Copies of this chain bind each other. A is one copy, B any other.
């Protein structure tokens, strides 16, 4: 038993070292730069040990992305924290969440991008714990939507939160990348705020 505990502890230590090293690579060079051999080299283990610590590279990448999602969750939690009861505040709350998401994306760069670039091998679906962690993110958007549109059912509110998040994500993705000619961050923040406030205002007046 003692020996088994020791082995488990070692495996956990190796996992943590590999996650940290992989996160470092993703942050500095992007997800596509992640390769088993340099990764093993950087923590000083044999390549085969990676597959003793993780079922496959996907499991390692999900562990890296999990940390990014946790960091994002904290940022959104903080941005949404202010309690807003009047509808006007709910609109501000949605704008604040959108700006917090933009700032997180701008700061985290490649680590944030990895959340969207990662494809499971053989097109397997992501494991349920990970999908659930991703979905939980929408609760930050749902809270002000509940204030803004109290008559919506939970299902409709969930859909709307996802759609709003997707719209914000689009503005952030295309704004931060140079493809369409990059936008200075202050202008991008202002544009994002304008569109989110307009959408929230429009939604609240639909009734």
Contacts and interface: CB of A to CB of B under 8 A. Distances in A.
A180 B125 contact: no
A206 B195 contact: no
Main SS of chain A's interface residues?
helix
A186 B201 CA distance: 25
Given A170-B170, A170-B173, A198 B202 contact: yes
A171 B180 contact: no
A42 interface: no
A168 to B, nearest CB: 7
A171 B167 CA distance: 5
A160 B202 contact: no
A71 interface: no
A167 B126 CA distance: 26
